[in-house]
Amino acid sequence: MRRALFAAALWLGAPASAEPVARLVSFEPGAGLALADAQGIARVVTAPGDHEVVRIAAADLTSDLRRVTRATTANGTQVWLGTLGRNPAIDRLVRRATLDVSKLRDAWESFVIATVVNPAPGIPAALVIVGSDRRGTAFGAYELSRAIGVSPWHWWADATPEHHAAIYAATGLHRFGPPSVQYRGIFLNDEDWGLQPWAASTFEPEAGTIGPKTYAKLFELMLRLKANMVWPAMHKVTAPFNANPENARLADRYAIVMGSSHAEPMLRNNVGEWTAPATEFNYVTNPAGVADYWRARVRANGQYESVWTLGMRGIHDSGIVGPTTDDARRSLLGRIFTDQRAMLARGVNRDLTRVSQVFTPYKEVLDVYRGGLKLPDDVTLMWPDDNFGYIRHVPDAAERERAGGSGIYYHLSYLGAPLSYLWLSTT
């Protein structure tokens, strides 16, 4: 069953950890493998054929060791960081039955952190971090960073870690994952007042908007929090995420799954990307034009890991244009589902059960759904709150059995009528 959790402003959830963080390291001499001592810090080793996010996480782990110890030299200890099947040295340990990865095979975002004696000639011991997939491996590196005292918010909140001159990895094997919720992420919304002007004027003036430099910092934060998904900023003041192809490439390098809000089907930012008159964003009178618009995004982004929003509403958080009754809306949405899924089958994967899709019955759409809207069984149903923290619909027994599973779209803060509490920070 596909499971999802989304938040409108901030992801909340426990890390997918099976072991207490305190067990991973000690700061007392002689307690395990020296990741840092008077000679320096451990060297983080990756394989050339591994995923790019693994190299990113390795560089961050090295920086974190330096941040905690203030050391720059190497002490001879090695940390092996790699993905199962993508790191020959780690795969050799698995074949020799030196490293138990039985629970990693075919697992989602899982990892093992283990001390291994004599992993290779001339290496008396190493700390091995192996992931079931690319995010699992990255999560393993950031779990070690968390264990040595580096906050996921170290950059965003200027959180300086406590200094330690020595760090020792606990002996033994520690298993983590899989997470209980498959997709966990945030929606950058109402960015007009904070993130957008800061990025455009201060952090990334060369882009003049929230661009790759800002998203790179956000994606790092997501990985450190063991989140994996982002709905990008989408207000008129911000350039659409896909207007700069580097944004999507960057998300792929960080192994971040991109999606889009209930108002942006098929990864399309309608406010910034729909250039025809608003009245033509109408699947009753202009189905070919709208379909071509969606199809172009499938061609451009079909190669990336995404969650595709199905359905249709107005240009920007308004009701669907065209049908005037709920019965007509249900009929049209059924046709739209069929057409959108055909695009995904042609442009992403013919097996649609392998294409992550979501439908969010937000605002007026929930009444349309409750009236009998039929949804393909493999599509995730994301249940929204009423914008102020109250979930409007809880899945019944039949909905809980759907292959697509359920998700939550939840506002930690909301700017809009009839009440706007953002300025009070009370939600």
Locate the domains of the chain by residue range: 17-176, 183-424
122-156: string of b/e by CB count within 10 Å (b at 16+)? ebebbbbbbbbbbbbbbbbbbbbbbbbbbebebee
Q: Which fold has domain 17-176?
A: Chitobiase; domain 2 (3.30.379)
Cis peptide before 161 (omega within 30 of 0): no
pLDDT tens for the chain, 427 residues: list them. 344 444 443 332 333 444 444 489 999 887 799 999 999 999 999 999 999 999 999 999 999 999 999 999 999 999 999 999 999 999 999 999 999 999 999 999 999 999 999 999 999 999 999 999 999 999 999 999 999 999 999 999 999 999 999 999 999 999 999 999 999 999 998 899 899 999 999 999 999 999 999 999 999 999 999 999 999 999 999 999 999 999 999 999 999 999 999 999 999 999 999 999 999 999 999 999 999 999 999 999 999 999 999 999 999 889 999 999 999 999 999 999 999 999 999 999 999 999 999 999 999 999 999 999 999 999 999 999 988 788 999 999 999 999 999 999 998 777 766 666 666 655 4
How do 357-359 and 380-384 pair as beta strands? parallel
17-176 and 183-424 share one CATH topology?
no
pLDDT score of 21? 45
Contact partners, residue 305, CB within 8 Å, separation at least 6: 252, 255, 257, 258
CATH class of the domain defined by 183-424? alpha beta
pLDDT score of 35? 98
Alpha-carbon distance of 35 to 44, in angstroms, equals 10
Contact between residue 163 and residue 208 where contact means Cβ atoms under 8 Å apart = no
Alpha-carbon distance of 222 to 219, in angstroms, equals 5
pLDDT score of 421? 61
Backbone φ, ψ for residue 360 (5° rounding): -115, 105
pLDDT score of 2? 45
pLDDT score of 92? 98
Alpha-carbon distance of 246 to 237, in angstroms, equals 19
| DSSP structural state of residue 385 | B
pTM over 0.75? The answer is yes
pLDDT score of 276? 97
Burial group, residue 55, by CB count within 10 angstroms (0-12, 13-18, 19+): middle
pLDDT score of 160? 97
pLDDT score of 414? 73
